[in-house]
Amino acid sequence: MMKLKMITAICLTLVLIALSGCQLAKESLGANGDRDKLIGVFVTTEHLDLFDTEAYINDSNISVKNGEVSFDWADSQKYQGRLYANLVTKADTDEETGLPLPTYEYVFEGIDGIQYCVPTIEANEEEDGYIATMSDPAVSDVQTGISVSDDENSISLEGTIYIVPSGKTNTYFFNPVYQDADGGVYTVTNYGIMLGSESESEGHVYTQTIDSTTTITENGKAKKDSTSIKVSLSVIFTPEKIAILQMGNDDALISRKEYKPDEMPEELALETGAAYFIVETHKRDDAGAAIIHREIYGEDTESIETFFVKAEGICSKQSTQII
Run of H or E including 304: strand 303-311
Segment among 96-100, 137-141, 261-265, 283-287 with least mean pLDDT: 96-100
Segment among 61-75, 113-127, 218-232, 252-266 with least mean pLDDT: 61-75
The predicted model gives 230-257 an average pLDDT of 95
Q: Is residue 273 part of a domain?
A: yes
Q: Is residue 226 part of a domain?
A: no
Strands 134-135 and 114-117, by their bridges, are: antiparallel
Q: Is residue 12 part of a domain?
A: yes
The residue among 259 and 15 whose pLDDT is bigger is 259
CA dihedral 136, 137, 138, 140 (to 10 degrees): 110
Residues 256 and 198 both lie in one domain: no
Residues 250 and 194 both lie in one domain: no
**Structural domain of residue 264, as residue ranges?**
239-322
Is residue 36 a contact partner of residue 179, using CB atoms and an 8 Å limit?
yes
Residues 29 and 172 both lie in one domain: yes
Phi first, then psi, for residue 252 (nearest 5°) are -80, 145
Half-sphere exposure of 163 (CA within 13 A, CB side): 30
Cα 156–chain centre separation: 14
Residues 12 and 88 both lie in one domain: yes
- Average pLDDT taken over every residue of the chain: 82
The residue among 77 and 134 whose pLDDT is bigger is 134
**Above 80 in pLDDT, residue 293?**
yes
User: How many domains does one find in the chain?
Assistant: 2
**Above 50 in pLDDT, residue 4?**
no
**Above 60 in pLDDT, residue 12?**
no
3-state SS string for 52-118: CHHHHHHHCEEEEECCEEEEECCCHHHHECCEECEEEEEEEECCCCCCEEEEEEEECCCCCCEEEEC
Query: How does residue 296 score in pLDDT terms, banded at 50, 70 and 90?
Result: very high
pLDDT, one tens digit per residue, over 175-194 is 999 999 889 999 998 888 88
pLDDT, one tens digit per residue, over 34-84 is 578 999 999 999 999 887 677 667 777 766 666 665 666 666 556 568 899
Query: How does residue 250 score in pLDDT terms, banded at 50, 70 and 90?
Result: very high
Domain boundary among 158, 190, 205: 205
Cα 52–chain centre separation: 25
Residues 186 and 51 both lie in one domain: yes
Strands 61-65 and 68-72, by their bridges, are: antiparallel
pLDDT, one tens digit per residue, over 89-122 is 877 777 777 777 777 889 999 899 999 999 988 8
Return the closest-CA partner of residue 39 out of 106, 95, 102, 116. 116
Is residue 174 a contact partner of residue 208, using CB atoms and an 8 Å limit?
yes
Q: Is residue 31 part of a domain?
A: yes
- Does the pTM of the predicted model rise above 0.85? no
Residues 2 and 104 both lie in one domain: yes
Query: How does residue 198 score in pLDDT terms, banded at 50, 70 and 90?
Result: low
**Above 70 in pLDDT, residue 14?**
no
Q: What percent of the chain has pLDDT over 70?
A: 80
Q: Is residue 232 part of a domain?
A: no
Non-local (6+) Cβ contacts of 39 within 8 A are 117, 118, 119, 120, 155, 177, 178, 179, 185, 227
Residue 44 forms beta bridges with which residues? 173
Residues 200 and 243 both lie in one domain: no
The residue among 145 and 152 whose pLDDT is bigger is 145
Burial bucket for residue 174 (CB in 10 Å: 0-12, 13-18, 19+) = buried
**Above 50 in pLDDT, residue 305?**
yes
Calpha distance 134→158 (Å, rounded):
13
Per-residue confidence (pLDDT) for residue 32, from 0 to 100: 34
Q: Is residue 199 part of a domain?
A: yes
Residues 133 and 246 both lie in one domain: no
Calpha distance 241→14 (Å, rounded):
51
The predicted model gives 157-163 an average pLDDT of 96
Q: Is residue 93 part of a domain?
A: yes
Q: Is residue 34 part of a domain?
A: yes
Per-residue confidence (pLDDT) for residue 303, from 0 to 100: 93
The predicted model gives 264-276 an average pLDDT of 92
Query: How does residue 19 score in pLDDT terms, banded at 50, 70 and 90?
Result: very low
Residues 175 and 257 both lie in one domain: no
**Above 80 in pLDDT, residue 292?**
yes
